[in-house]
Amino acid sequence: MTGTILQIENVSRVFPGVRGGAPVRALEPTNLQVAQNDFITILGPSGCGKSTLLRIVAGLDRPSGGRVLLNGREIKGPGADRGMVFQSYTLFPWLTIAENIAYGLREKGVPKSQRQDIVASYTEKVGLRGFENHYPKQLSGGMQQRTAIARALANDPEILLLDEPFGALDNQTRGLMQELLLGIWERERKTVLFVTHDIEEAIFLASRVVVMSARPGRIKADIPVDLPHPRHYTMKTTPEFSGLKAQLTEEIRVEALQAEGVH
Amino acid sequence: MPRPLEPVSQGTRVTLGISFFVLFVAAWAFATLGGFVSRTFLADPITMVQDGWLLLTRFGFLSDIGVTVWRVVGGFVLAALIAVPIGILMGAYKSFEAFLEPFVSFARYLPASAFVPLLILWAGIGEMQKLLVIFIGSVFQIILMVAVAVGNTRRDLVEAAYTLGSSDGGVVKRVLIPANAPEIAEILRLVLGWAWTYVIVAELIGSSSGIGHMIIDSQALLATGQMIFGIIIIGIIGLISDFLFKAVNRSLFAWRLA
């Protein structure tokens, strides 16, 4: 086990009430340690504050209390050291696929020839060769998210943050994307924080599944996934996988019921 | 029977578009040549064409057209050069917007045509005064519309840029501006159309050249054929500039249609 890269210390988030309403506690004080090369999935029902937590790590939202440390330095705002993939399609529509992947490198001032090499290698890794000069609109949802992953990785971030990146994709595409992402992680050993509400996805990808409770969000369980690597999609039908799935389904079900106000 | 929102083919579209022009001229010819409307008030199409031909060949109307086009383009370009950057800054920086927006909103409703007498006082009856009328008529409109467009930039694109390492200035330069460039071009196309109405007003008063001046001269002579010809010329120029603008936008912003 290598050292801790990301430390979430007592991070909470309270949204001010709208029009004199009561403030909303989206996130209870939360602690989480992420080790180098971990693949952590944060699993929870909608509205449990899991995206809020990820946005705080990304620096796109400020915690109401607590702090987040990346390699010991407190996070004050967004930066290139944390790559982010969003659920919505956020490729820049006026740039081609290659230009989108090169965006962060350009901002960093990486010289053009070097930029081209990096772009070529990531285009290859996400299987988009031949589409370099297409515009995002010409690509399917799955291809756009693959580009978004390549765009985040090309920046060589310390940690990759993904906020339900496959949530809008159909089931088959989602399965393929999970394998692609896992393949990249197995090869490059990035540190990944992945938010999802899909139990199977959470288990299949993770080395650790963090289960969050319904509003106000807090971490309810932290379950290691010791399934062997490299993982193949057939793993989803093994007894070990099913056992984990049953356990997590139970955890999540209670929370979902609570979130929906059913007791 | 056509169904709601059902698209039509390009050929049908052109045919239908032209056929209304034909219908319009036919109705006009019928009303005038058939003797239903007095010639004093409305010239028939044939007289109009003859008058137009005379204007172009004998009275140097082409140079009037040139002068008017120059005024519109001059005043409009001046307004765009100043208004687009201000609009972008207002859209990007909310404090700047809070500072300027109330005034610009107020100034937008000041009728450009009402400034003509004042501008004659300030700038005389030379070219500067014409340019200023168009400038005043366009500048506040462009500022406000550009500010709204930039202010409505997709937040997730801006956030994505920040997570990729963009600075604040980088976000303005490489997200806000390119994301809204097509819309800004569209705003300019729209406002250019309005600028045409201001130039004629400017030329109706205190002018010795231009299409508007010709129209006022023709009024004194009851030459309705010439007046209508002048108005139609404005329409045709408007149509051409609109077409050019659209073509340029299409080629510049191919990604939008991709």
Contact with chain B for residue A103, Cβ under 8 A: yes
What chain A residue is nearest to B177 in terms of C-alpha separation?
Answer: A94
Residues 6+ apart with CB under 8 A from A257: A263
Candidate from A133-142, A216-225, B238-247 with smallest mean pLDDT: A216-225
pLDDT over 80 at A2, yes or no: no
Whether the per-residue pLDDT at A262 is higher than 70: the answer is no
Is the pLDDT at A42 greater than 90, yes or no? yes
Interface touch A94/B179, C-beta < 8 Å? yes
Residue found under tokens 């407190």: A74
* Residue B163 with chain A: CB contacts under 8 Å: 58-60, 78-80, 82-84, 152, 161
Q: What pLDDT, on the 0 to 100 scale, is given for residue A263?
A: 54
Question: Could you report the predicted ipTM of this complex, rounded to two decimals?
Answer: 0.90
C-alpha separations of A71 from A78, A192, B198 in Å: 15, 14, 62
Is the distance from CB of A38 to CB of A190 less than 8 angstroms?
A: no
- Stretch A81-95: mean pLDDT, rounded? 93
Q: What is the mean pLDDT of chain A?
A: 88
User: What average pLDDT does range A42-52 have in this prediction?
Assistant: 85
- Name the residue among A60, A95, A138 with its Cβ closest to that of B162: A60
Q: Is the dihedral of CA B108, B112, B118, B119 positive or negative?
A: positive
Q: Is it the case that residue B59 has pLDDT exceeding 90?
A: no
In this prediction, residue B26 has a pLDDT band, given cuts at 50, 70 and 90, of very high
Is pLDDT at B17 greater than 80 in this prediction?
Answer: yes
Q: What is the mean pLDDT of chain B?
A: 90
pLDDT digits (tens, 9 = 90+) for A163-208: 999 988 888 888 888 999 998 898 888 899 999 988 889 999 999 9
For A153, which residue in chain B has the nearest alpha carbon? Answer: B164
Q: Which of A57-66, A226-235, B187-196 has the lowest mean pLDDT?
A: A226-235
Confidence of residue A1 (pLDDT cuts 50, 70, 90): very low
State the amino acid at position B134 in one-letter form: I
B200/A93: higher pLDDT: A93
Q: Do B163 and A77 touch (CB under 8 A)?
A: no
Structure tokens at B215: 């129209």
With beta carbons under 8 A apart, name residues in chain A contacting B185: none
Which of B:184-243 have CB within 8 Å of A?
none
Asked if B160 lies within 8 A of A90 by C-beta distance, the reply is yes
Q: What is the pLDDT of residue A169?
A: 87
Task: Spell out the residues 6+ positions from residue B179 whose beta carbon is closer than 8 angstroms to its own.
Answer: A92, A93, A94, B153, B154, B157
B166 touches chain A (CB under 8 A): yes
Please give the residue of chain A at the shortest CA–CA distance from B167: A107
Distance from CA of A62 to the nearest CA of B (A): 14
Band (pLDDT 50/70/90 cuts) for residue B258 is: low
Q: How many Å lie between the alpha carbon of B164 and the closest alpha carbon of chain A?
A: 5
**Taking a contact as any Cβ pair under 8 Å apart, which residues of chain A between 16 and 35 contact chain B?**
none
- The answer to whether residue A73 neighbours chain B at the CB level (below 8 Å) is no
For the cut 90, the answer to whether the pLDDT of residue B191 exceeds it is: yes
**A57 vs B: CB within 8 A:** no
β-strands A191-196, A208-212: how paired? unpaired
Give A253's contacts (C-beta < 8 A, 6+ positions apart). none
Q: Does A109 touch chain B (CB under 8 A)?
A: no
Rg (C-alpha) for chain A, rounded Å, is 19
Phi, psi torsion values for A252, nearest 5 degrees = -70, -35
What are the C-alpha distances in Å from B127 to residues A14, B184, B206? 61, 28, 11
Q: How far is B79 from chain A (nearest CA, A)?
A: 26
Instruction: Classify burial at A13, counting beta carbons within 10 Å of its beta carbon; exposed 0-12, middle 13-18, buried 19 or more.
Output: buried
Give me the mean pLDDT over the B139-160 stretch: 95
State residue A119's pLDDT score: 94
> What is the rounded (10 degree) CA torsion for A230, A236, A240, A244?
110
**Tokens 């060769």 sit at which residue?**
A129
Per the rule left: phi > 0, alpha: psi between -120 and 50, beta: everything else, A130 is: left
Residue of chain A whose Cα is closest to the Cα of B170 = A107
Span A58-76, average pLDDT: 91
Average pLDDT over residues B215-241: 88
pLDDT above 70 as % of chain A: 98
Query: Does the structure show a pLDDT above 90 at A220?
Result: no
- Which tens digit of pLDDT belongs to each residue from B94-128? 999 999 999 999 998 888 888 888 888 888 888 88
How does pLDDT run across B156-184, given as a tens digit for each residue?
A: 999 999 999 999 999 999 999 999 999 99
